[in-house]
Structure 1
Amino acid sequence: MKCSVIKIPAGAPHDMSGLKASAEEGLFRPEEVVAVLGKTEGNGCVNDFTRGYAVMALKDFFAGAVKGGAADISYVMSGGTEGVLSPHFTVISRSGQAGLASERERDQDQSQDQEQGLITGGPKSLAIGVARTRDFLPEELGRLSQVDAVAEAVARAVRDAGITSLQDVHFVQIKCPLLTAEQIYDAHSRQVSLVTEDTYKSMGYSRGASALGAAAALGEVERSALREEEIGVNWDKFSRVASTSAGSELACCEVIVFGNSQSAEGQYHIDHAVMQDAIDGAALQGLLDRYPGEELVQVLAKAEADPDGVIRGRRHIMLDDSDINHTRHARAVVGGVLAYVGGDPMIYVSGGGEHQGPKGGGPVAAVFRRR
């Protein structure tokens, strides 16, 4: 497997001119694209239709660029480019064989390679795996049924990437659904209960359940010890690599696993750290210091307003602002900090960090290219 990551500026959610030009220049081959991450300039809340608009434009672009269409591409759009964050698309490509079907097959192949001298202990390269859950019923969002479905999908995506050690998983991007007024009405008509009837709060529950699903799949939390009432409440349980984003444009969860594998090849690789709070730029700086001389290709991060209302002992008002949602405040802060450290505002920063990193913090991953 050989994977690559490039980022392309966007003049608007529907602006495909950059993708078209990049494809014509040979920077990526449309038929090898497995996922597109986007930052669109909507509000990132329930009624952010820039996400669906971008997905519609992307599907139309790839339908025309790939013979027979490109139905298997995962589209993960994150709304909200507050502050200095720059709207863009991150195009993720993969060529060659995908992940092996089972651990037994991986072990057999590795054993044969070792006997033949094919495994030399060289550097691991970027490996990408994708998977989708089934569509969820409204009453499943934010509950253990969502946790379990996401955990299964994350495990499939890890296998799809050909990653043999969970320690080599450095970022798990999940796009998850939310509750709409129409879905709430449907639940009422069937006399089923929902985790919440607040559409905005449903985003947090869905993000949190998805993150805990990733944590369960990666062994970061014990699934048997997880209780439904802990979702969105017990911040001691979290994933160090999960990033989840909720939207109304889908009913399932789209999962993209980023990691490194000995069976992958190419110049790209990924690493991650964990921000302890919204101004922890040292987390990204540590990654940059770890790989001197390498090109920083993209930064992927979560942003959260600390639910305690303080940052390093100082009071913040992000949770009390009735005019601007706290997720928008957090994206602006974290985006500014990481843009300064990395020297580029065209980065992927997603708001809402429920069970994604420690309380008030969040994972940050960096994709590098060896020179």
Structure 2
Amino acid sequence: MPECLVFRVRTRHPADVSGLDALIASGAVAPEEIVAVFGKTEGNGCVNDFTRPLAVMALEAALGARLGLSPAEVGARVALVMSGGTEGGLSPHLLILARREGPAGEARAAERRALAVGTAFTDDFAPEEIGRMAQVRATASAVERALAAAGLEDIADVHFVQVKCPLLTSARIREATARGRNVATHDTYASMGLSRGASALGIGLALGEIDESALDDDVIGVRSDLYSGRASASAGIELMRNEVIVLGNAPGWSGPLRIAHRVMRDGIDLPAIQEALADLGFPVAGQLAPEEASRVVALLAKAEPSGNGLIRGHRHIMNDDSDINATRHARALVGGVAAAAIGRTDLFVSGGAEHQGPDGGGPVAVIAAAG
């Protein structure tokens, strides 16, 4: 009977793997059990955020030394999702997810649901496939494989699907052009949103939230009414494939951890966070007390400024600020709301929520130990 373990460690800088090393040295987790790492790094979260590949390189080197593998071999087996941007009070940190195999257990125990994790990878995309239906379909197929790996047969048991996806750079655009291919956009920053959007639509397709008949290249990044309530996608320069991590509560898994989710309708939707907490047995009034907050292993959320420039009828300037990117504003806003609910700032809040929840909102999930 497998168990999903989740460890949260602080980082002093993007290449800091001392927390990971300490976990392994203590015997808390074996390196071969690690299947995924989520990370928040202190870069700008944009095209030129090189804190993400720096963190990936450090993690691949650290795990490779422990496993006797090359960095490329580590990258082929462990999903490494680095999300840049810790604006406001968000704290840089790593979430280390592991799968530990245990005895089969009794049939009665197998019927209970506990946190489950499954991972899968697409093949590398050609630049011209990024932000288009090829990426949507490949993502959907990878999500289905990840669901199978986690033993999540009932879609209702799925609470969060994280994807790390690629983006376009000038060099990648030139390479496609040299082959006579056209890309979805020549704006490298816009390519991040298209890649996230295509990935999210693929998640929604796999989970039955979106009908394939509604999808084509033209709706990606345009039809905000098409979205998944459990999708989270983060784009980066450090890869050319999609890496998929599925989280849910599956029968046959053991351990004290559970996950719950809700969809925030906008950046200040505190009740959505409180409802996810209530599903896990937490009190819903006010900020969690320290002893309750200690049960929360992770909060995962998407942040996006609304396209109409309003939050509940009041004007915001996130889309009009030429000095600070809109997604950076949104991360700070949602991070503050989430931190106020949990009473802690080491939270995985990712910006850019195209097709990930409604316009201006996004999914939020909480992983916690049973009380």
Short-chain TM bin: over 0.9
- The 5-angstrom pairing of residues 166-205 of structure 1 reads 166-205=155-194
1:309 is matched with 309
1:224: how far off? Answer: 2.3
Q: Residues 121, 186 of structure 1: CA spacing in aligned structure 2 closer, same or farther, 3 A cutoff?
A: closer
1:209 to 192, 198, 203: 198
Partners of 1:284 and 1:344 lie apart in 2 by 14
Q: CA deviation at 1:122?
A: 5.1
User: In structure 2, what is the equivalent of residue 101 of structure 1?
Assistant: none
Structure 1 Cα separation of the partners of residues 109 and 69 of structure 2: 39
Counterpart AA for 2:114: S
- The separation in 2 between residues aligned to 1:91 and 1:274, in whole angstroms, is 24
RMSD of aligned Cα (Å):
1.7
Structure 1 residue 67, shift from structure 2 partner: 4.2
| Corresponding residue for residue 278 of structure 1 | 267
The answer to whether residue 338 in structure 2 is matched with residue 338 in structure 1 is yes
Alignment-derived partner of residue 123 in structure 1? 112
1:211-290 correspondence runs (5 A): 211-290=200-279
> TM-score normalized by structure 2?
0.92
1:66 positional shift: 2.3
Assess, with a 3 A threshold, how the Cα gap between structure 1 residues 125 and 117 changes in structure 2: closer, same or farther. Answer: closer
Taking structure 1 as the reference length, what is the TM-score of the superposition? Answer: 0.92
Distance in structure 2 (CA, Å) of the matches to 1:22 and 1:77: 19
Give the aligned partner of residue 72 of structure 1.
77
Gaps of 5+ in 2: 283-291
Deviation per residue, 1:139-164 (Å, 9 max, x gap): 11111111000000000000010111
Preserved CA contact (<8 Å) 2:122 2:138: yes
| Aligned-partner SS, 1:167 | helix
Name the SS for the 1:93 alignment partner.
strand
Separation of aligned partners in 2, 1:144 and 1:287: 32
Amino acid at match of 1:255: V
Structure 2 distance, partners of 1:15, 1:240, is 33
CA distance in 2, matches of 1:61, 1:251: 22
Distance, in Å, in 1 between the alignment partners of 2:236 and 2:17 is 21
State the AA in 1 paired with 2:343.
G
What is aligned with 1:36?
37
**CA deviation map 1:240-297 (0-9, x unaligned):** 0000000010000000000111111111111100000001111111122233367211
Does 2:74 match 1:85? no
Q: Equivalent of 1:291, from 280, 284, 297? A: 280
- Residue 23 (structure 1) shift: 2.1
Alignment partner of 1:157: what SS? helix
Paired residues in the alignment total: 354
Q: Would you say the 8 A contact 2:260–2:280 is kept in 1?
A: no
> Kindly, what percent of the aligned residue pairs are identical?
52
Structure 1 runs (4+) deviating above 6 angstroms are none
Give the Å deviation of 1:18. Answer: 1.5
Give the match for residue 358 of structure 1: 358
Structure-2 separation of matches of 1:254 and 1:75: 8
Q: Which runs of 5+ in 1 are unaligned?
A: 98-112
Matched, 1:133 2:122: yes
CA offset at residue 117 of structure 1?
A: 7.8
How many angstroms apart in 2 are the aligned matches of 1:66 and 1:84? 35
